[in-house]
Amino acid sequence: MKTIKGPGIFFAQFMDDKPPFNSLEGLCKWASELGYKGVQIPTTDTRLIDLERAAESQTYCDEIKGLIGSYGLEITELSTHIQGQLVAVHPAHDIMFDVFVPDNLKGNPKARTEWAIRQMKHAAVASMHLGLKTHATFSGSLLWPMVHPWPQQPKGLVEMGFRELAKRWLPILDTFKNNGVDVCYEVHPVEDIHDGDTFERFLAATGNHQAVNILYDPSHFVLQQLDYIKYIDHYHEFIKAFHVKDSEFNPSGKKGTFGGYNDWRDRAGRYRSPGDGQVDFKTIFTKLTEYGCDVWAVLEWECVIKSPEQGAREGAPFIKHHIIEATEKAFDDFAGGDVDDEQLRTILGI
C-alpha cells in the first residue's frame, strides 16, 4: 500500500488576467495559502511556463522549481491536454480546435499536428529537467464522430483509426520513455481513449508501449455510466495520475447520456465541485491506496453552480480529509510474527 500525495491543484481553470491568477508566482502564493502542496501546470500559457525554453534550459527549469518551492509547493505534473488533443483531430473538429493554435497554423491541419507533436516532445524533455516522472495529457481523436455506430462503420475503420493514432504517438512516447517520464492519458469524452476498451485498443496499437499510462478522473465515468470503482480494479497498474473532480448524472424522460445538445447546466450529466456530486471518493481513495498507486490527488475544478474561488477553498481540505495514511502494521499482529513449527504442529494436533 502507498499513501497518496496531496492535496494538489490544476491551475488551468483558474488562470485569469487579474492577479493573483495571471502569473505563476501569484497562483503559487494563492494555492499555498489555501493549503495545497502540489501544482499541476498547463503548458499553453507562457506566463506559467515557456515549454520550449524549459526543454532547452536546465537553468530555467531550476528557476521555476525554486520559485514554486519557495511557497512550499511541488510540481505534480506538467499538462499538455491541449497539445495532446491536437496530435489527432478529426476534420469535423478542425475549425473549433484551431482556436488553440498560433495564428500562422490556423486552417492548416498538417502543420497543426506537426506543431503539437513538437510540443509534446518538448514536454518530455522539460518534465525530465524538472525532475518529474509523470505527465498529464489527452490522446486526441480521429474516431469520436463515429462513437455511435450509425451510419454503419465500414469494416476496419476503428482498427485503422487506432493504428494511425498510435503511429502519431509512438515517436512522442519514445521521447518520454527516453527521458524517464510516463505519459498519463486522461480518459475523457471526445478522446479516442475514453474508457477501458479504448485504452486497451490504443495500448495494443502501440505494441504495449511502457510509457502509456492513465490519468484517472472518475467524473467522466459517471457521465458515461461506467463503473469507475471496478475501473481501478482493472487498470490500477496503469494509474499514475489522479484528478479529483466530481460529477452527477440525473437522467429524465427528456435527456440522458447525450444531453440533448444542452449547455452544461441543463445536461443530465454535469460536473460539480468535489463533494457536491455523486462520486464515491471514500472508496476511490481506499482503492488507490490499497493498490499502492503512486499518485498525487490533484483538484481539477469544474462546476456549473459553485464559484471557482469557493471550489478551490474547499478542495484542499476535502482532499486532505480523504487521503489515507497507509498502515505499515497489521491491526491484529499482536500475536507476534516469529514462526515456530513445533507450536504450529501442536495447535493443529499433528
pLDDT in tens, 202-217: 999 999 999 999 999 9
Question: 36-40, 134-138, 339-343: which range is least confident on average?
Answer: 339-343
Burial 12-27 (b: 16+ CB within 10 A, else e): bbbeeeeeebeebeeb
Strands (E), the chain: 5-10, 38-42, 74-80, 134-137, 182-186, 212-216, 239-244, 246-249, 269-272, 296-299
Quote the number of domains for the chain. 1
List Cβ neighbours of 240 (8 Å cut-off, separation of 6 or more). 134, 182, 184, 213, 214, 215, 293, 294, 295
Domain carrying residue 154: 5-348
Predicted local confidence at residue 156, as pLDDT? 98
Residue 39 has pLDDT above 70, yes or no: yes
Average pLDDT over residues 78-85: 98
Q: How confident is the model at residue 330 (pLDDT cuts 50, 70, 90)?
A: confident
- From the DSSP assignment, how many helices (H) and strands (E) are in the chain? 13, 10
Burial 173-182 (b: 16+ CB within 10 A, else e): bebbbebebb
179 DSSP assignment: T
Q: How confident is the model at residue 2 (pLDDT cuts 50, 70, 90)?
A: very high
Q: What is the CATH number of the domain that holds 59?
A: 3.20.20.150
Residue 86 has pLDDT above 90, yes or no: yes
Q: How confident is the model at residue 334 (pLDDT cuts 50, 70, 90)?
A: low
Predicted local confidence at residue 254, as pLDDT? 97
User: pTM above 0.85?
Assistant: yes
Predicted local confidence at residue 339, as pLDDT? 87
Residue 9 has pLDDT above 70, yes or no: yes
What is the spatial distance between Cα 305 and Cα 303, in angstroms, rounded to a whole number? 6
Q: How confident is the model at residue 317 (pLDDT cuts 50, 70, 90)?
A: very high
DSSP assignment of 288-299? HHHTT---EEEE
- Nearest CA to 245 out of 182, 198, 200, 187 is that of 187
Question: Quick one: how far is CA 97 from the chain centroid?
Answer: 20
Strands (E), 67-180: 74-80, 134-137
